[in-house]
Amino acid sequence: MNETYIDNSYLNCTFTLSVHNDLEEFIRYIYMIIYPIIFIIGLIGNLLSSLVFSITELSQNSCGIYFLLLAISDSIALIGGLHHCLTIGYNISIPYAIYCRTRNFLVYTSTDMVSWMIVAISVDRFLKVKFPFKSRIHCTNKLNIKVAGCITIILIVKNIHLASKFIGDFTLDAADNCDPNPAYPSYVHFFENIWPWIDLTTFVLLPFIIVTSCNIFIINDQHKRRLKFGHRNFDRSLTKFLLISSLSLITCNFPVSITIIVYPYISQIYGKSEHYDEVGFIFDILRIPSYATLALNFYLYYYSSSIFRHQALLLFKRLCRIRVHSNEMNILSMGIIQVQSPRQSNLREQTVEK
């Protein structure tokens, strides 16, 4: 009887270990193949976005600085994600404290910047819809640069502890050398039990609440304009962009943030390298869509905004040294006029008539 029990236990353990090994092998191929594709597509798209919002007409838009910082933050976060590509996909460890501290600080700060730049864009759009005349005076490039600077400083202060001596686990059984330093147990407790809640709130929950509130008002206002003025005054591209950005913010980042919180409580191998379980597999899988959102913003802009498409095509032709015809310039000028407020458009029309 005892021998049968031992045999069954041995078979169960062997089967479980085999499943875990299969999961680990599968996730290794994901980070070995899929992440490099995401990285290359994202780096190209973010570079193009940076150029569009820095050297084309869109750089004069009040939100241009937010879009530029969003593209830069996306790129930094994707570069930081190469850490998982190396450690999970290629089993390459980098046991250097300065690397871990720099990487953790830049990744957390850049991903926070992504969320809060989307917040800044949504709030800017909300103010322009709610207060169209006052926003012309107050929502300027100069003010937005100051706002972006304040957001950056706040996020740096929030994440500065990640660049300190508290980061770096170089014990033999460490799952990741960039985990908190076990020599500081109080910080390890903070990092595993308190920090995830702070990060969830600032990275996902608070930005999602603000973005969703602004978007509800903007979309409702657009709907009223459609009923009052007809289809032509219903900005579908703006509505589409705002909906996709807010939905991707929550659907791609909320699950991985929740997993970070519950991981220490439901995994038996958290922080250790000997085994691999289902929780670790889910955690590693959920990182992929989170990284994908960092790579797809350029393509989202190109899909949802005709004005961005025109400016991007103009940029492509500049880069390829193709002469831009005068009729294309007229189309671009008309596109820029459409982005302006109704009051600005009326003044421009009155000037033309005169």
What pLDDT tens digit does each residue of the chain (354 aa) get? 545 444 445 444 554 556 567 888 899 999 999 999 999 999 999 999 999 999 888 888 878 899 999 999 999 999 999 999 999 999 898 889 999 999 999 999 999 999 999 999 889 888 888 888 877 777 788 899 999 999 999 999 999 999 999 999 998 878 889 999 999 999 999 998 999 999 999 999 999 899 889 888 887 877 777 777 665 544 566 667 667 777 777 788 888 888 888 877 776 555 565 567 777 888 899 999 999 999 988 888 887 777 888 888 888 888 787 554 544 445 444 444 344 444 444 433 343 333
Do residues 256 and 286 make contact, with C-beta atoms less than 8 angstroms apart?
yes
Do residues 340 and 318 make contact, with C-beta atoms less than 8 angstroms apart?
no
- Other beta carbons less than 10 A from residue 270's beta carbon: 16
Closest CA to 292 of 253, 246, 247, 238: 253
Q: Provide the CATH number for the domain formed by 2-305 in this structure.
A: 1.20.1070.10
Cβ-proximal residues to 271 (8 Å cutoff; 6+ apart), any chain:
169, 174, 175, 179, 264
Do residues 97 and 39 make contact, with C-beta atoms less than 8 angstroms apart?
no
pLDDT digits (tens, 9 = 90+) for 211-265: 889 888 887 877 777 777 665 544 566 667 667 777 777 788 888 888 888 877 7
How many angstroms separate the CA atoms of 83 and 106, rounded?
Answer: 12
> Quick one: tokens of 308?
């961005």
Do residues 118 and 211 make contact, with C-beta atoms less than 8 angstroms apart?
yes
Please report the pLDDT score of residue 331 as a whole number.
47
Do residues 294 and 78 make contact, with C-beta atoms less than 8 angstroms apart?
yes
Q: Report the residue count for the chain.
A: 354
> Quick one: tokens of 20?
């875990």
Backbone torsions φ then ψ of 235, nearest 5 degrees: -80, 90
